[in-house]
Amino acid sequence: MRTKIKTQTMDMTSGPIMKQLILFSLPLLFGNIFQQFYSTVDSVVVGNYASVDPAVNADALGAVTSVGPAVSTLVGLFVGFSTGASVVVSQYFGARNRRALRASVHTSLVTTFVMGLILMVIGYFASPAFVAFMNTPETIAPLSVTYLRIYFLGIEGLMIYNMASAILRAIGNSRIPLYFLILTSLLNVVLDLIFVINFHMGVAGVAWATNLSQFISAALSLVVLFRSREDYGITLREMKIDPTILHKIFYIGLPAGAQ
């Protein structure tokens, strides 16, 4: 018998409005900072420790930073989808519509998983084209492709974490996603240093460190949802897509992602 936990949420419908907004928004602000922390740490580590040769370090740093626009664009599109899911989940949560709430949560997660698989395959094989499109210098293009391909292999972890955290924020809990993000950001620092300094993995090392950290944050977030005894808790048998709800999520999320 699995142990269930009660996830604390914030009631945004009572109490001083400004206080509630500040308490809810602060974790979001710090969460954005720690999201940027991932790529910053990757750049710092490879730029300083990839090799004893400064020229090699410079190439490694250039490889990581050159793929930034492509990664940011793809992540931004998915953030739009998670925004749409968050809006739909929060609407049903506020309306206390249990059936629709559960359907929206499960639809969001299943769709995220499918999208992650598709993006992983396309991104892996299209990485050379992405790198060429960004006019990456030939001297660092192979390193950029390596980093981008490994990044896409772990895109599922990033997407599931973002969706699970969007669901938790939609029901008023913005702190748990932040706690997990802080924990795995610090883990990413440790893994970066181990893979690059101890195992001499260079660009590939920071990419794998990021992937492992993001998969752990995704797993922790899913554990919270699986063990929750609230109406938004998830079960394997309910993992299916509701076409009506999916249409509503895309209707809201696509414009947000396009921005």
For the four alpha carbons of 238, 242, 248 and 253, in that order, the dihedral sign comes to positive
Residue with tokens 């938790």: 168
pLDDT tens digit string along 98-152? 999 999 999 999 999 999 999 999 999 999 999 999 889 999 999 999 999 999 9
Q: Between the CA of residue 245 and those of 44, 101, 220, what are the distances in Å?
A: 42, 10, 26
Distance CA 24, CA 248 (A): 25
Q: What is the pLDDT of residues 69-95, one digit of tens each?
A: 877 777 777 778 888 999 999 999 999
Q: What is the 3-state secondary structure (H, E, C) of 210-231?
A: HHHHHHHHHHHHHHHHHHECCC
Q: Which of 154, 134, 5, 6 is nearest to 70 (CA)?
A: 134
Q: Report the predicted TM-score, pTM, of the whole model to 2 decimal places.
A: 0.86
pLDDT in tens, 9-66: 545 445 555 655 555 455 556 656 666 767 788 888 988 887 656 767 888 889 888 8
Nearest to 66 by CA among 124, 143, 125: 143
End-to-end CA, the chain: 45
* Dist CA 134 CA 128 (whole Å): 10
Q: What pLDDT shows up at residue 5? A: 46
Residue 169, CA distances (Å) to 16, 83, 148, 166, 233 in order: 19, 10, 29, 5, 14
**Long-range contacts, stretch 72-76, CB < 8 angstroms, 24+ apart:** 74/119, 74/123, 74/155, 75/158, 76/257
Nearest Cα to Cα of residue 123 among 59, 73, 166: 73
User: 6 versus 185: which is more confidently predicted?
Assistant: 185
Q: Give residue 248's Cα distance to chain centre.
A: 22
Please, are residues 68 and 242 in contact by the beta-carbon 8 Å criterion? Answer: no
Q: φ, ψ for residue 52 (rounded to 5)?
A: -80, -10
> Which tokens sit at 9?
């949420």
Cα(189)–Cα(169) distance, integer angstroms: 26
* Number of C-beta neighbours around residue 130 at 10 A: 21
